[in-house]
Chain A
Amino acid sequence: MSVPVRHRAVIFFCALLTFVAGSVMFSQYKVKAAALSGSSISGIVRLEGTAPHQRPIDMSKEPSCALMHKANLVTTESVVAGPDGGLKNVVVYISQGWTGPAQASTASPILDQKGCQYIPHVMAVNAGQPFKVLNSDQTSHNVHPMPAPGGANQEWNKSQSPGAQPIVSSWNGEEVAIHVKCNIHPWMSGYIAVVKGPYSITNQKGAFRIENIPPGDYTLSAWQETYGTQTQKVTVAAGKPATVNFAFKAK
């Protein structure tokens, strides 16, 4: 039987489609498999020595916010260490050796402005990952992230009225970390770390945990807004959770 040229073309095209679709699915499956078979990296970030004095913040300029903090005085958060030296707000991420997808999660994290403070104070996202900025206050804030000039990321500065719709944005390139300010309330300070792959941010105890790391050799980085970055090499074996601890020296 002879198939007209036209039909041959169609058949060829369908075959091509099936092949492409199939290979895409297969690669997806492979990634999933790797993720499943991977293990985790966890550890504690500690501060050695006494944390520097955190100045109290006087919000009398913005009565609505001052009222919210009447009970407990808010202080700066450049170094937040627990009683046993656990260092809070440290971004831990894989700076080298990550071969998986650049976007670790598809969720869009939220940076909330509440009581004239950024919640969370330090946040991490992947490049290209959308994040939301909310304003839960009774007053207008201006959201003013200031990436290093000349980099892949552009500085911007937008006001957000109370009850306004959330600002949704994302960053073009990795950068640890971008400082966020509100000029109307100059004491407001937050950081967004833009990293590649999975990440974790330490809690009060200084503990972090990064899940689903495929076996391999990695360089792990820990960034703290005052003390900067520390790196450690770590080898992850299949099914065996690795432990890495960091220690920052108080200046």
Chain B
Amino acid sequence: MHDVSSHVGHHAPPQGFFRKYVFSLDHKVIGKQYYGLGLLAVLIGMVLSWLMRIHLIAPNATIPGLKWLSSTGAPGGVMTPEYYLQLMTMHGTLMVFFVLTTVPLAGFGNYFLPIQIGAEDMAFPRFNMMSFWATFVGFCVLIAAFFVGDGPPLSGWTAYAPLSVLAGAGPGQAMGQTLWAVSIAIFCIGQLLGSLNFITTTLDLRTKGMMLMRMPLSTWAWFITSCIGLLAFAVLLPACILLILDRVAGTSFFVPSHLVISDQVISNHSGGSPLLWQHLFWFFGHPEVYIAILPAIGIVSHILINSYRRPLLSHRVVIYSMIAIGFLSYMVWGHHMFVSGMSPYSAVVFSFPTLAITIPATLITLIWIGSLYGAKLEVTSASLFALGFVSMFVTGGLSGFFLAQPSIDVYLHGTYFVVGHFHMVMGVAAIFGMFAGTYFWAPKMFGRMMSETLGKVHFWCTFVGAYCIFMPFHYLGLAGNVRRYSAFVDDYLQPLLPAHKFITFAALFTGAAQLIFLYNLVRSRFAGPPADENPWHGTSLEWATSSPPPWDNFGGRAPVVYHDPYQYGIEASSGDYVMQNSPEQIQTVREDKSLL
């Protein structure tokens, strides 16, 4: 149920520290809270990946400081195989759930969706607050797994049953795995509340003149993503509940009969189906990939248009493509299970929609690149990261060609090729979207400009570094290098070790380069030059209010919208652009109406 007194913009300006910054109902504060949480999670996740990479090239090396993190997992600072897997699980879980889902969608979405549609706040501010705090609690529960019994779970972020159900299956599978499941369940609830809020806000709270087709592409992306998330997390939640029940209540949803672990017969479970978990998980898991990447696509389009100084060749094609991707994402989960004992016929059934996703993805990419032709590119840190995103998206997308075909997946399935693929298209690409968004919107969020020079250095290091890390992953996969190995003992893996050394050094370099970004962010927050209302000469509504915006976004006057979102590259009084809320007439409409 909703609360009238707290209804859109009708909560009074918050008083007191807690109401203002902690338990705030203001979508802008909540957006920043999500962003901060994501930043914290991405730092932890990155350090974990460092530790993993170092262990891979020097399995018996003493890593300074590690013994303080876990005396059992790393006695004397030497990482054990199980601790490698435990860190890997935490890396995956933190990155997928608490970074890729929170920052581009919940972080930027919370802050800018209401502003871009001219609303004063989200539809249900209380749900919005609950959504963040649920996510935060989930985060704390997950981190707690580091400090219990024998540490976090080692079953990977996919937590395949029965490994994830049986406490005797290995270190971390007792308390750690339970905490993991509880954490994800709580996270699901948070995201469900968030999606509910986003969808309702977009449908009901658009200001006068803001027709759906006049919404910026970023808003469209957040809207579509929320629709995906609403259904995806509504499936992961039951899966987690079943997992928790299997673990703590002794039910048998996922554990079959007659299992024998370390010579001991598992007698308290019987008849369960491990594939059931895989189906439920991947029915969520594949849409999750698009939950991570679609907001980045929207943000990047929004930024590219601004730095192209022209609208995209077609606004609608991009929107319809995003919708198509969202729709298709629900028909392809089986491609994660080509070798898990599904019938070979269903493998074929899942293969074609997977390949079909290429078409809308290609459409978006072609529109991006085609619109760059004949454009006037303004090179900023934001636009560089956006262009870097395009490059990454293409690269990562193309390796999907291989994995979408069962016949090739049979060779590549469990290898580093998969790791390279999803890090490129989901990890790095989405994180590039986050960087682009940060450089673009930091002036609005904090009222200060970030340093462009540092931003460009940061971009170059990150871009080259990311390719140096993740391109070799594909090669290793082609050579059959199996993923999730804590050490490479097989004879055929020995020749590949130099490549792993290279990757590790690239990872250390790229990670270190992120300190530039952190420094830039913190410095600009306090010492950056103050930003005016519209530093990038943008057209959408977030540029029509002060930086940072007042607590009700537009100072009580709801803006009225007269134009499509991206009126660039025209002659107008304000320059080469007209803002959405300016009543000025436009002679030349750039958007190509020849289609649709």
Are A and B interaction partners? yes
Segment at the interface with B among A7-15, A26-34, A159-167, A241-249: A159-167
Shortest Cβ gap from B250 to chain A (Å): 15
Total B residues in contact with A, Cβ cutoff 8 Å: 18
Cβ contacts under 8 Å, A158 to chain B:
72, 75, 80, 82, 171
Chain B residue nearest to A163 (CB atoms) is B60
Q: B262, A140: Cβ atoms under 8 Å?
A: no
Contact of A144 among B60, B76, B81, B262 (CB under 8 A): B262
Tell whether, in the assembled complex, residue A164 and residue B76 are in contact, meaning their CB atoms are under 8 Å apart.
yes
Q: Which B residues lie within 8 Å of A76 (CB)?
A: none
- Chain B residues whose C-beta falls within 8 Å of the C-beta of A142 in the assembled complex: 81-82
Taken residue by residue from 143 to 163, chain A's Cβ proximity to chain B (1 for < 8 Å, 0 otherwise) reads as 010100000000111111111
Q: Is the CB of A161 within 8 A of B60?
A: yes
A181 touches B170 (CB 8 A): no
> Is there a chain A Cβ closer than 8 Å to B204's Cβ?
no
B78 within 8 A of A: yes
Q: Are the CB atoms of A162 and B263 closer together than 8 Å? A: no
Question: In the complex, A146→B263 CA distance in Å?
Answer: 10
Of the A-B pairs whose beta carbons lie under 8 Å apart in the complex, a sample of 18, sorted by A's number, is A139-B489, A140-B80, A140-B81, A142-B82, A146-B262, A146-B264, A157-B150, A159-B80, A159-B81, A160-B80, A161-B60, A161-B81, A164-B60, A164-B76, A164-B78, A165-B75, A165-B76, A167-B75
User: B235 contacts the other chain (Cβ, under 8 Å)?
Assistant: no
What is the chain B residue whose CB lies nearest that of A184? B81
Asked whether A108 is an interface residue with its Cβ less than 8 Å from the other chain, the reply is: no
Residues from chain B with Cβ under 8 Å of A164 in the complex: 60, 75-76, 78
Residue numbers in A under 8 Å from B168 (CB-CB)? 155
Say whether chain B's binding surface is mostly helix, strand, loop, or mixed: loop
Whose C-beta in chain A lies nearest to the C-beta of B168? Answer: A155
A181 touches B80 (CB 8 A): no
User: Does B487 make an interface contact (CB < 8 A)?
Assistant: yes
Whether a CB of chain A sits under 8 angstroms from the CB of B480 is no
Q: Smallest CB–CB gap between A89 and chain B, Å?
A: 19
Nearest chain A CB to B54 CB, angstrom units: 14
- Nearest CB on A from B6, distance (A): 51
Contact B171 A161 (CB under 8 A): no
A60 to B82, CA, bound (A): 23
Contacts between the two chains (Cβ within 8 Å), count: 41
A161 vs B84: C-alpha distance in the bound complex, in angstroms? 13
Chain A residues contacting B264 (CB-CB under 8 Å) are 146
Chain B residues with CB under 8 Å of A165's CB are 75-76
A183 within 8 A of B: yes
Q: Is the interface of A mostly helix, strand, loop or mixed?
A: loop
CA distance A167 to B80 in the complex (A): 13
A144 to B75, CA, bound (A): 16
User: What is the CA–CA distance of A156 and B149 in the complex, to the nearest angstrom?
Assistant: 11
Check if B59 is an interface residue, CB within 8 A of chain A. yes
Report yes or no: A181 in contact with B263, Cβ–Cβ below 8 A: yes
Determine if A161 and B262 form an interchain contact, defined as CB atoms under 8 angstroms apart: no
Is there an interface contact between A162 and B60, defined as CB atoms closer than 8 Å?
A: yes
Contact between A161 and B170, CB atoms less than 8 A apart: no
Complex alpha-carbon distance, A162 and B168, angstroms: 24
A158 to B71, CA, bound (A): 11
CB contacts under 8 Å to A, within B212-271, are: 262-264
What is the minimal beta-carbon distance from A61 to any residue of chain B, in angstroms?
A: 10
Question: Which A residues touch B82, using CB under 8 A?
Answer: 142, 158-159
A161 adjacent to B263 (CB under 8 Å): no
Q: Mark interface residues in B366-387 (1 if CB within 8 Å of A CB, else 0).
A: 0000000000000000000000
Q: How far is the CA of A158 from the CA of B149 in the complex (A)?
A: 12
Which of the listed residues B82, B168, B171, B262 has the most CB atoms from chain A within 10 Å of its own CB? B262
10 closest A-B pairs by CB: A159-B80, A165-B76, A159-B81, A161-B60, A181-B262, A157-B171, A159-B82, A164-B78, A161-B78, A140-B81
Cα–Cα, bound, A165→B75 (Å): 8
Q: In the complex, which residues of chain A have a beta carbon less than 8 angstroms from the beta carbon of B60? A: 161-164
Return chain A residues, CB-CB under 8 Å to B262.
144, 146, 181, 183
Of A142, A157, A165, most B-chain CB atoms within 10 Å? A157
Query: Could you tell me the distance between the alpha carbons of A155 and B75 in the complex, rounded to whole angstroms?
Result: 18
Contact pattern, A 115-148, Cβ under 8 Å of B = 1, otherwise 0? 0000000000000000000000001101010100
Closest to A160 in B: B80
Closest to A64 in B: B489
Sample of 5 further A-B pairs with CB below 8 A, known A146-B264, A183-B262: A142-B82, A161-B60, A161-B81, A164-B75, A165-B75
Report if A161-B72 is in contact (Cβ < 8 Å); known contacts: A146-B264, A181-B263. no
Closest to A166 in B: B75
For residue A159, which residues in chain B have a CB less than 8 angstroms away from its CB? 80-82
